Copies of this chain bind each other. A is one copy, B any other.
């Protein structure tokens, strides 16, 4: 059995370019006792991967040069010498950017296609969904009637944040990157309002749709969207800091508004700003999947996937993801999905 792997050829400086990636075909070893061969169906692309390509100090170790790039995957068991897994089983894995892998079965989670589409295990019912759940409910703690603002509102995390906010009785306001996304966020996802971060009057646009200010700003992007959000924060506002996609390709963090201005506002407005990493919050997974799985089945919570065919398109698609070119949860279909035949 062969695997096509996309490896990190060099650490990107600023935006990743094609030459930062290399594609290699390898022969997988025969299965030893206890091992499982996996065939990748879906590879999840997520902004955090940009951090793993860098060797700047962070909460997780970087991918080594020459290493397969990290990533959550939905796989099918192609062969098994492990009694816990049978050929044909669907599993959630961290196989990364490759088409097949031999593993010992530890850390795999079986997926039942009858519960939910298997692709949701890396999306609305997986890491992005849990990120939204923990950041909004555990840190943001919205109260009924409050206003929740979320950036990247049509994305895998933001779309869940806003819809959960609505379910909890809050007002949901999104920021997204195109007229089409803005319309989707309002009309399909049911947010109360959505504005475009490409507008030159973003602050004014936001003021118009947040007449009572912002109580929770779920931070995914940084930059101008953060400027606008801070201009509307209410006293005692909460800012769960989930990511800052606008910085991921930055080669310097020295420009822009000053730290002092932010610290002064944190004091004056008694803000609560807190960073979190979803991988440290797996203790909440059971509660999350029970609650959000219910909303998915009842149709109360919608999700959108942006599926690109072919592992070879992962680098280009990832570069686009960092610029907001995706529309919904970004997936690469690496191999056939028999459940959607």
Q: Which residues from chain B contact A261 at a C-beta distance below 8 Å?
A: 253-254, 259
Query: Among the listed B256, B260, B270, B273, which residue makes an inter-chain contact with A250, where contact means beta carbons less than 8 Å apart?
Result: B260
Query: Among the listed B264, B266, B269, which residue makes an inter-chain contact with A273, where contact means beta carbons less than 8 Å apart?
Result: B266
Nearest CB of B to A242, in Å: 8
Complex Cα distance, B253 from A196, in Å, reads 28
Instruction: Return the CB mask of A25-64 against B: 1 if under 8 Å, else 0.
Output: 0000000000000000000000000000000011100000
Query: What are the 4 A-B residue pairs with the smallest beta carbon separation, nearest first?
Result: A267-B275, A266-B275, A253-B260, A257-B259
A135-179 interface with B by 8 A CB criterion: none
Complex Cα distance, B223 from A261, in Å, reads 11
Closest to A257 in B: B259
Complex Cα distance, B257 from A258, in Å, reads 6
A247 at the interface (CB under 8 A from B): yes
A222 at the interface (CB under 8 A from B): yes
Q: Spell out A's residues near B (CB within 8 Å).
A: 57-59, 219, 222-223, 226, 235, 241-244, 247, 250, 253-264, 266-277, 280
Complex Cα distance, B276 from A235, in Å, reads 10
Verify A270–B276 contact, CB threshold 8 A. yes
Closest to A265 in B: B275
Q: Which residues from chain B contact A260 at a C-beta distance below 8 Å?
A: 222-223, 244, 247, 250, 253, 255-257
CB-CB under 8 A for A270 and B266, given A255-B258, A259-B259: no
Copies per complex?
2
Q: Which residues from chain B contact A235 at a C-beta distance below 8 Å?
A: 59
Verify A268–B222 contact, CB threshold 8 A. no
Closest to A226 in B: B263
Verify A263–B241 contact, CB threshold 8 A. yes
Nearest CB of B to A130, in Å: 15
Complex Cα distance, B277 from A262, in Å, reads 16
Closest to A235 in B: B59
Verify A269–B275 contact, CB threshold 8 A. yes
Q: Which residues from chain B contact A262 at a C-beta distance below 8 Å?
A: 259, 262-263
Verify B280–A275 contact, CB threshold 8 A. no
Nearest CB of B to A100, in Å: 33
Interface centre among A254, A255, A257, A266 (most CB of B within 10 A): A266
Interface centre among A226, A242, A274, A277 (most CB of B within 10 A): A274
Nearest CB of B to A262, in Å: 5
Q: Which residues from chain B contact A276 at a C-beta distance below 8 Å?
A: 270
Complex Cα distance, B257 from A254, in Å, reads 7
Verify A253–B264 contact, CB threshold 8 A. yes
Verify B253–A256 contact, CB threshold 8 A. no
Nearest CB of B to A61, in Å: 13
Query: Among the listed B241, B255, B258, which residue makes an inter-chain contact with A266, where contact means beta carbons less than 8 Å apart?
Result: B241
Nearest CB of B to A223, in Å: 8
Complex Cα distance, B222 from A273, in Å, reads 17
Q: Which residues from chain B contact A58 at a C-beta distance below 8 Å?
A: 268
